[in-house]
């Protein structure tokens, strides 16, 4: 039904036409004064003329034109209204898409913010354990100082053993005992028992040689001499026996047996020529020689039990060790170890964030040590010291540890730079997120049905929003969308209908007779 304000223009137009008709009728048609037929005919003729000339030819075309114009205007407005509805629907669809994209952008920024924060926290955690890395680096390095101090103490201890050094100086070939103890462990089991049994045979040989000397100092007895010599040969045979450990037999045949048998032959020769004085002197030399071997082997066994094998071959050089230089090295080693122990103790109870101070202290201690060690190597006593290799080894360990600290320093610097950059990124992400969230709230207000109804009172408009959250079940109404293929379903180990992925919410727009469903990409779980 048309409203009064829509029909009023036509009523006004008709009233105006009637007034004009009445006015023209008064002017053009004379009033009927006579009732004769002639006057009546004239009156009808005037009326017809007026009708055709005024009403039919002028007023009606005007009215018809006015109606046609109005019809065209109404039709045009109707078409414009349909076009406006379509444009409005498209605009709402676009706004819905923008709203979903904005929310998706906000989630992506939030996810990125979480990832950046995780990376920052990881760097922070690693930075807090940097002191622990330094602690274990120093703990590992201090073992080198412990070994250095031990080696210097061993060298000084061996240097004080004048009897041992004198024996090696008199019988330098005895140093070959070192190769035997480097090839096997004689501290337990069958190896220890066999070695002790063989050494006991040498002790027997030493007594036999004493008896031979007694024979030659008194009246010689050929039978007794031969008996003693036979016993000495048995000692040689025992060491060369196949039951003897292969490594011991091989070493004996190469290092000792040639000299042993040479002494036996010489003794028999002197005795055969009745040269008692030379025979006695040779037996004494043989005894000293054998005593030296026995002493060195026993000492080597003692060294092996104490872990001093590396010093066996260096013993002859200990006679050249400068006592003052050795004392300086011992004092240096003790001081360096105490400094490192103090650092390690402080690091053990240190608080997070104190890496820089400990790094500086560590580099200062090790830097001073490196300078001292290099100066020691360049000095005259150090250049010919048997401890030179020990000093060089500690110097190399100090250099390696310093490089390790430099690497930790680089990691610390890079971590701080990265953490600062991550904090700046977080600020930018927070600002961008705040802007997008504000824009998203404005879009949601614009798409609220009550706000739209207040703006478009004459239009039937409603927007329904179906919230989609990942990890929740799809609303029951969504089954139809799945059947239409508007929502994807994938086999997954999750309850059927569980939302696995979503790029936004679902919007249903109802505009008059038009209905539009904005369904973003959504994936739900289904049974296999």
pLDDT tens sequence across 187-211? 888 888 888 888 899 999 999 988 8
Per-residue pLDDT, 28: 57
pLDDT-derived band at 329, boundaries 50, 70, 90: very high
pTM, rounded to two decimals: 0.62
Does position 258 have pLDDT exceeding 90, yes or no? yes
Is pLDDT at 25 greater than 80 in this prediction? no
Which residue from 321, 324, 334, 332 is spatially nearest to 159, judged by alpha carbons?
Answer: 321
What's the rounded Cα separation, in Å, for the pair 141 and 418? 30
pLDDT tens for each residue of 407-430? 999 988 998 898 888 889 888 888
Burial call 307-340: b when 16+ CB within 10 Å, e when fewer: ebeebbebbebbeebbeebbebbbebbeebbebb
pLDDT digits (tens, 9 = 90+) for 474-510: 887 777 888 788 888 888 888 888 888 888 888 888 8
CB 467 within 8 A of CB 497: no
Lowest mean pLDDT of 326-330, 359-363, 440-444, name the range.
440-444
User: How many C-beta atoms surround the C-beta of residue 102 within 10 A?
Assistant: 19
What's the rounded mean pLDDT across residues 328-342?
94
Q: Quick one: pLDDT at residue 461?
A: 77
Confidence of residue 1 (pLDDT cuts 50, 70, 90): very low
Reported as a single tens digit per residue, the pLDDT across 344-375 is 998 888 765 578 889 999 999 999 999 999 99
Q: What is the pLDDT of residues 83-98, one digit of tens each?
A: 777 777 777 778 788 8
């Amino acid at each position: 039904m048309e409203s009064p304000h829509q029909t009023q223009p036509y009523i006004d137009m008709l009233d105006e036409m009637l007034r004009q008709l009445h006015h023209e009728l008064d002017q053009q048609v004379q009033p009927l004064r006579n009732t004769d037929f002639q006057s009546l005919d004239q009156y009808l003729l005037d009326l017809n003329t007026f009708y055709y000339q005024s009403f039919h030819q002028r007023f009606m075309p005007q009215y018809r034109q006015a109606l046609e114009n109005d019809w065209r205007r109404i039709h045009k407005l109707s078409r414009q209204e349909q076009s406006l509805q379509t444009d409005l629907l498209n605009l709402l669809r676009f706004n819905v898409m923008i709203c979903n994209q904005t929310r998706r952008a906000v989630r992506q920024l939030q996810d990125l913010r979480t990832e950046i924060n995780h990376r920052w926290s990881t760097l922070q955690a690693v930075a807090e354990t940097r002191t622990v890395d330094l602690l274990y680096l120093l703990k590992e390095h201090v073992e080198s100082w412990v070994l250095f101090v031990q080696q210097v103490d061993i060298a000084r201890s061996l240097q004080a053993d004048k009897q041992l050094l004198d024996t090696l100086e008199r019988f330098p070939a005895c140093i070959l005992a070192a190769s035997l103890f480097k090839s096997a462990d004689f501290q337990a089991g069958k190896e220890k028992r066999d070695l002790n049994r063989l050494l006991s045979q040498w002790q027997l040989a030493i007594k036999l040689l004493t008896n031979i000397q007694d024979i030659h100092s008194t009246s010689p007895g050929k039978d007794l001499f031969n008996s003693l010599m036979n016993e000495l040969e048995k000692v040689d045979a025992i060491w060369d026996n196949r039951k003897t450990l292969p490594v011991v037999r091989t070493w004996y045949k190469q290092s000792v047996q040639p000299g042993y048998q040479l002494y036996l032959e010489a003794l028999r020769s002197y005795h055969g020529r009745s040269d008692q004085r030379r025979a006695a002197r040779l037996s004494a030399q043989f005894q000293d020689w054998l005593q030296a071997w026995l002493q060195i082997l026993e000492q080597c066994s003692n060294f092996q039990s104490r872990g001093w094998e590396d010093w066996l071959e260096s013993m002859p050089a200990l006679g050249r060790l400068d006592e003052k230089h050795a004392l300086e090295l011992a004092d240096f080693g003790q001081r360096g170890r105490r400094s490192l122990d103090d650092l390690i103790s402080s690091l053990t109870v240190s608080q997070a964030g104190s890496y820089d101070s400990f790094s500086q202290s560590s580099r200062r201690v090790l830097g001073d040590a490196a300078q001292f060690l290099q100066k020691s190597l360049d000095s005259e006593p150090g250049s010919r010291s048997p401890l030179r290799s020990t000093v060089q080894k500690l110097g190399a360990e100090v250099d390696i540890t310093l490089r390790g600290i430099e690497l930790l320093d680089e990691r610390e610097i890079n971590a701080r730079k990265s953490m600062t950059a991550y904090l700046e990124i977080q600020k930018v992400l927070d600002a961008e997120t705040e802007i997008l969230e504000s824009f998203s709230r404005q879009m949601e207000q614009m798409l609220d049905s009550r706000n739209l109804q207040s703006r478009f009172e004459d239009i039937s408009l409603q927007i329904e929003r179906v919230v989609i959250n990942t990890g929740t079940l799809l609303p029951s109404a969504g089954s139809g969308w799945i059947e239409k293929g508007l929502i994807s379903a994938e086999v997954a180990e999750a309850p059927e209908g569980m939302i696995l992925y979503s790029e936004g919410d679902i919007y249903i727009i109802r505009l008059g007779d038009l209905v539009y469903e904005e369904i973003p990409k959504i994936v739900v779980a289904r049974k296999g």
